[in-house]
Amino acid sequence: MTPLNKTRPEFRNINAFTDLTTYRLPLAGWVSILHRVSGAMMFLLMPFIVWMFDASVSSEISFGSFTSALSSGLWIFPGVLVKLVVLGLMWAYLHHLIAGVRHLYMDARHAVSKEFGASSAKVVLVLSIGLTLILGAKLFGLY
pLDDT at 21: 72
pLDDT at 9: 67
pLDDT at 70: 83
pLDDT at 111: 75
Spatial CB neighbours of 140, under 8 Å, sequence gap ≥ 6: 83
pLDDT at 2: 59
pLDDT at 138: 92
- Contact of 88 with 41, CB cutoff 8 Å: yes
Determine the Cα–Cα distance for residues 106 and 124; give it in Å rounded to an integer: 13
pLDDT at 34: 94
Going along the chain from its start, the domains and CATH numbers come out as 25-139 (1.20.1300.10)
- Contact of 38 with 97, CB cutoff 8 Å: no
Strand partners, 77: 74
Q: What is the pTM of this model?
A: 0.78
Give Cα 96 to chain centroid, integer Å.
Answer: 6
pLDDT at 69: 81
Q: Report the chain's terminal Cα–Cα distance, integer Å.
A: 71
Mean pLDDT per 10-residue run, the chain (143 residues)?
A: 66 71 83 94 89 84 83 84 90 95 90 87 96 94 85
